[in-house]
Amino acid sequence: MTDMLLSLGQNRVARNLVARAKLPIPLPQRLDRIEGGSVERPLEGKTVLVAGAGALGEPLARTLARAGAEPWLRSEAQLAAFAGPGEAYARPSKLIGAEPEAGQTVNAIVVDATGFELHADLKLLWQIYNPWLKALAQNGRSLILARPPESARRADQAAVRAALDGFNRSLAKEIGGKGATANLVYVDDGAEERLSAVVRFLLSKPSAFITAQPVRVSAQARWDGEDPWTQPLARKVALVTGAGRGIGEATARVLAAEGAHVVCLDRPEDDAALSLVARDVGGSLLLCDVAAEDAPAKIAAYLTEKHGGVDIVVHNAGVTRDRTLARMSERLWDQVLEINLGAILSITSRLLQGPLRDGGRIVSLSSIGGIAGNTGQTNYAASKAGLIGMTRKLASDLAPRAITVNAVAPGFIETRMTAAVPAVVREVGRRLSALGQGGQPEDVARAIAFLSSPGSAGVTGGVLRVCGGAFLGA
Amino acid sequence: MASKNGFKPAKGRRAVVVGGVRTPFCKAFTELTELDTIALGSAAVAGLLKQLELPARELDAVVWGGVVLPPLSVNIGREIVLELKLPAAVEAMTVTRACASGLQAITTAAAAIERGDADVVIAGGSDSTSNAPIAFPPKVVQKLGPLVLGGKGTPADYFGALAQLMPLADILPRVPKIAERTTGEVMGEAAERMAKRNEISRAAQDEFAARSHHRAARAIASGRFDREVSKVEAPGGWVHADNLVRADTSMEKLAKLKPVFAPDGTITAGSASPLTDGAAATLLMSEEKARALGLTPLAALRSWSYVGVDPADQLLIGPALCMPEALDKAGMKLADIDFVDLHEAFAAQVLSVIKALASPAFARERLGRSEAVGEIDVARLNVHGGSIAIGHPFAATGARMVTTMANELALSGKSTALLGICAAGGLGAAAVMERV
């Protein structure tokens, strides 16, 4: 389904007209996405303004230099951390002024707020963003790095840390019009080395539809330090359920592009579509109804026999059977709870008894509906919220095995399912978000690929929203 | 070729360099214009055989490097053998690895000797920019080719085909341009970006370039190159000497030149290697064979290494990665090396490589080692100048460097030399030579 405003926004004349006439039409900015897999230098030539001097200067400097970014620094105190990496990758940093020069644009603003202690420290945000926001490029990025409020020792410290969340969410809405995103990363003490993959992801194109989110990076899961920048999923076996179309298909394609062998699973009646996907991605085909009683055993046996196990499990298969609760039949209730929750619980439990290898990754598709609730979706929201509970518990249970468990909550994504929604509802779904547009299945797939990568070991037990900053269910 | 294991000679055989000869290196479209790459190669090989008084029957093979290859006789190594009327049994091949082609020819020959496949091999390379084929665009070739090559076209067919070849811009012959196929960037533009990113100043480049000229001029004046350069007969007369080296250049003169690749750039014609015609040949043998023939081995290749980097990043930084690798394979440190010889594509590129090698951060991040590879003192770097002053016939450069270093080791009595060459496509080449 084409998004008319998005297309109109590409037309310079139309854009100018709308702006000049001050028409109340938000013309969304087309998001920058990548083709294929991760590249060696995801931030090649991007200018990144780094402000704030906290504990993360060095890991940040290393990641930015290697990623090909040009660091712009606000204070001389930061120079030491950036000097070495700048020399190693020939990306010398430069000191910039308090305000941008005429015509100067910056691709990303990164604030290391780990040193924030008092509420007055928050003033730095104003000092940086107030002058520099006008210089932020289209499809730009804002990233704030901080310590989590939960680990604060004092109330004022906790307040400062939590304040960043509100700031970030508001900022996301203010810059969404130019296709720019704003995210916040809470880094635990001792998880600094796990920051690199998260920073790369949130500053580069694959995170185009993720904005206004706080992401927690912890040292909870065991990690051997592996963090390949390209082909991160090489030699991994990934199971994607519901891979025949939509988000599942996009996930199969992206995981394969990142190097994984993808076992594409869908219902036997979707044989035709699934075969095409499996063939395209050079993966294998597993026809199976996830809700069938023998599904867990069948899947486990297949993975063990054909591939000697599995490294990545993406629980994507799901259905909606919307009806207000008073009108909902028992069948509709059961179907949704069985497919969306029961099947996932039993398949996961069976895979944990052997096929899922240590260092593995489990990603479940939750939903904004599961977080916010929706009229007519009691069954669906229950199943999707249930997955979040499962995710949290498994994350702590499996941390010693170096397995991470996460959920992804898509917002309005342009799929066959949303194309069938009435036009007005669809329009509202698209526009009520910071980025003012729907996402692509691929945007969700990129988030899943990130959470499936060895380098994402710091992220576990969380729900990553891929929603364009949807106003719903924040 | 880039064996990750250390160097282990097969059954103790060691390949040694017993000599090397090159033609004068001349600015493209000057004295050597009328000699193509095969003629230049033949001149160098003939000069080498003559100087060492080696009977041609002792020769097993020729391994020749070339970058701009004549389209209809690509195996120029074999053409040289046939043109010189060497015994037909002397087999020959042609290798290409951009500006590292000459070194590639030599390491290929050394490997063959050490493997026991050959005893006596001539290895070198040549290039004639003056004879670079001017290519017609594929569109022209595809339309006219069938008529020309098929030989059955009527005049009407020709006009019909020509009529399809508009607009004119599409069918004009393309000037050969040393641009990267993947990035579309001319090498000088890539070097310009390297200069900026590695913070190499214009003054440092000019100083480096001036030194290259002064050292090369001194080597020529002192007769140091006499045994390495052999006169060549061209249709216009005998060519005796290099014609690019400027003894009278200075930082002040170089400072007056305008940047060539970017208006605000730092690279000028004076700090870049010029387009050059020339050839260089070396003679390699197994050590026993050399002694049996009564020839004096000058040097051996203790190790070598080739690497690739992303052309879109720092196109010419390769040597900073493969020189440490070659040192490792040789079981040596930079401090153990007496002479360092770096191909000077651009002063900015050499200075970038030197800066990286001296950087502890580079060592840590890019090489995974705790200490910097080391500083390179100018006293032991490019002691007789380099490609900026002498010139750079692409595939000849590696053989020129091996020859000069082999002689330098023998003359000075010092023990080791480290070579580094950057090449198009993001390639890097390095070798450690030791005196025999």
Q: How does pLDDT run across B264-322, given as a tens digit for each residue?
A: 999 999 999 999 999 999 999 999 999 999 999 999 999 999 999 999 999 999 999 99
At A82 the three-state DSSP class reads: helix
**Cβ separation A88–B310 shorter than 8 A:** no
Chain A's closest residue to B321, CA to CA, is A88
Give how many domains chain A has, as a whole number. Answer: 2
Chain B hits for A80, CB-CB cut-off 8 Å, are none
Residue A180: give its domain's CATH number.
Answer: 3.40.50.720
B197 touches chain A (CB under 8 A): yes
CB A340, CB A318: distance < 8 Å = yes
**Cβ separation B360–A84 shorter than 8 A:** yes
Distance of alpha carbon A265 from the chain centroid:
23
DSSP state of B119: S
Using CA atoms, how far residue A312 sits from A221, A351, B92, B235, in Å, is: 15, 11, 53, 71
Residues paired with B277 in a beta bridge: B26, B128
Using CA atoms, how far residue A87 sits from A117, B200, B314, B360, in Å, is: 32, 12, 13, 9
pLDDT for the residue B2:
41
Which secondary structure element, helix H or strand E, spans residue A5, and what is its range?
Answer: helix A4-10
Q: Which CATH superfamily is domain B10-131+273-435 in?
A: Thiolase/Chalcone synthase (3.40.47.10)
Q: Is the pLDDT of residue B10 over 60?
A: no
CB B185, CB B214: distance < 8 Å = no
Determine phi and psi for B48, rounding to 5 degrees: -65, -50
DSSP state of A338: I
Q: Sort strands B276-286 and B26-27 into parallel, antiparallel or unpaired.
A: antiparallel
Domain encompassing residue A433: 237-466
Place of tokens 């402000």: A51
Residues paired with A470 in a beta bridge: A433
Work out the mean pLDDT of chain B and round it to a whole number: 92
Share of chain B above pLDDT 90, in %: 83
Between A40, A84, A86, which is nearest B310 by CB?
Answer: A40
CB burial of residue A360 (10 Å; 0-12, 13-18, 19+): buried
ipTM of the complex: 0.83
Chain B hits for A86, CB-CB cut-off 8 Å, are 361
A344 and A446 in a single domain? The answer is: yes
Which secondary structure element, helix H or strand E, spans residue B284, and what is its range?
Answer: strand B276-286
Chain A hits for B356, CB-CB cut-off 8 Å, are 87-88, 90
B365 touches chain A (CB under 8 A): yes
Place of tokens 């002192």: B222
A182 and A246 in a single domain? The answer is: no
Rounded to whole angstroms, how far apart are CA atoms B435 and B333?
A: 16
pLDDT for the residue B148:
66
Q: What share of chain B is helix, strand, coil (3-state, %, to 5)?
A: 40, 20, 40
A402 and A439 in a single domain? The answer is: yes
Task: Give the Cα-Cα-Cα angle A74, A80, A85 (nearest 5 degrees).
Answer: 100
At B287 the three-state DSSP class reads: helix
CB A241, CB A288: distance < 8 Å = no
CB atoms within 10 A of CB B117: 13
A38 and A186 in a single domain? The answer is: yes
Directed axis angle between helix B76-83 and helix B37-52, to 10°? Answer: 60
CB A49, CB A108: distance < 8 Å = yes
**What dihedral angle (degrees, nearest 10) is formed by the CA atoms of B365, B362, A115, A68?**
-80
How distant is the Cα of B179 from the closest Cα of chain A, in angstroms?
Answer: 20
A203 and A281 in a single domain? The answer is: no
DSSP state of A188: -
Rounded to whole angstroms, how far apart are CA atoms A409 and B411?
A: 73
Active site residue A380: yes
pLDDT for the residue B3:
44
Sequence-separated (6 or more) residues with CB below 8 Å from residue A132: A49, A99, A100, A106, A109
Between B312, B317, B359, which is nearest A87 by CB?
Answer: B359
How distant is the Cα of A42 from the closest Cα of chain B, in angstroms?
Answer: 12
At B312 the three-state DSSP class reads: coil
DSSP state of B175: P
Rounded to whole angstroms, how far apart are CA atoms A175 and A139?
A: 9
Rounded to whole angstroms, how far apart are CA atoms B186 and A312?
A: 43
A276 and A204 in a single domain? The answer is: no
- Name the pLDDT band for B5 (thresholds 50, 70, 90): very low
Determine phi and psi for A433, rounding to 5 degrees: -155, 160
At A74 the three-state DSSP class reads: coil
User: In this structure, which amino acid lies at residue B13?
Assistant: R
Q: Does residue A231 lie within any of the structural domains?
A: no
Average pLDDT over residues B35-50: 97
Using CA atoms, how far residue A469 sits from A33, A64, A199, A372, A456, in Å, is: 17, 25, 18, 14, 22
CB A262, CB A256: distance < 8 Å = yes
Sequence-separated (6 or more) residues with CB below 8 Å from residue B154: none
Chain A from 15 to 44: CB within 8 A of any B CB = 40-41, 44
CB atoms within 10 A of CB B22: 33
**Cβ separation B362–A87 shorter than 8 A:** yes
- Name the pLDDT band for B151 (thresholds 50, 70, 90): low
A267 and A389 in a single domain? The answer is: yes
Catalytic residue among B26, B213, B343, B422: B422
* pLDDT tens string A71-95: 999 998 899 999 999 999 999 999 9
Between B194, B313, B361, which is nearest A88 by CB?
Answer: B361
Rounded to whole angstroms, how far apart are CA atoms A186 and B288?
A: 68
Chain B's closest residue to A93, CA to CA, is B197
A152 and A213 in a single domain? The answer is: yes
B194 touches chain A (CB under 8 A): yes
Residues paired with A71 in a beta bridge: A48
* pLDDT tens string B377-390: 999 999 999 999 99
Per-residue tokens: A245: 């179309």
Catalytic residue among B99, B213, B322, B384: B99
Cis status of the peptide bond prior to B167, with omega within 30 of 0: yes
- In 3D space, the residue among A223, B100, B83 whose CA is nearest the CA of residue B92 turns out to be B83
Which secondary structure element, helix H or strand E, spans residue B305, and what is its range?
Answer: strand B299-308
A281 and A395 in a single domain? The answer is: yes
Sequence-separated (6 or more) residues with CB below 8 Å from residue A138: A29, A178, A179, A180
**Cβ separation B366–A90 shorter than 8 A:** no
Residues paired with B123 in a beta bridge: B63, B282
A116 and A262 in a single domain? The answer is: no
Active site residue B422: yes
CB A286, CB A264: distance < 8 Å = yes
B366 touches chain A (CB under 8 A): yes
Q: Is the pLDDT of residue B75 over 60?
A: yes
DSSP state of A34: -
pLDDT for the residue B1:
40
pLDDT for the residue A64:
97
Low-confidence residues of chain A: pLDDT under 50: none
* Maximum Cα interatomic distance, chain B, rounded to a whole number of Å: 72
Q: Does residue A315 lie within any of the structural domains?
A: yes
Per-residue tokens: A399: 């941390």
Among A217, A246, A261, the domain boundary falls at A217
Determine phi and psi for B298, rounding to 5 degrees: -95, -45
- Name the pLDDT band for B91 (thresholds 50, 70, 90): very high
CB A309, CB A356: distance < 8 Å = yes
Q: Is the pLDDT of residue B173 over 80?
A: no
Sketch the domain layout of chain B as residue ranges: 10-131+273-435
Chain B hits for A90, CB-CB cut-off 8 Å, are 194, 197-198, 314, 317, 352, 356
Q: Sort strands A261-266 and A284-287 into parallel, antiparallel or unpaired.
A: parallel
Best A39, A82, A87 member to test B by mutation, with max B CBs in 10 Å, is A87
Report field, pTM of the whole predicted structure over 0.90? no
A177 and A53 in a single domain? The answer is: yes
Chain A hits for B366, CB-CB cut-off 8 Å, are 88-89
Q: Sort strands B61-65 and B91-95 into parallel, antiparallel or unpaired.
A: parallel
- Name the pLDDT band for B81 (thresholds 50, 70, 90): very high
Rounded to whole angstroms, how far apart are CA atoms A452 and B115?
A: 47
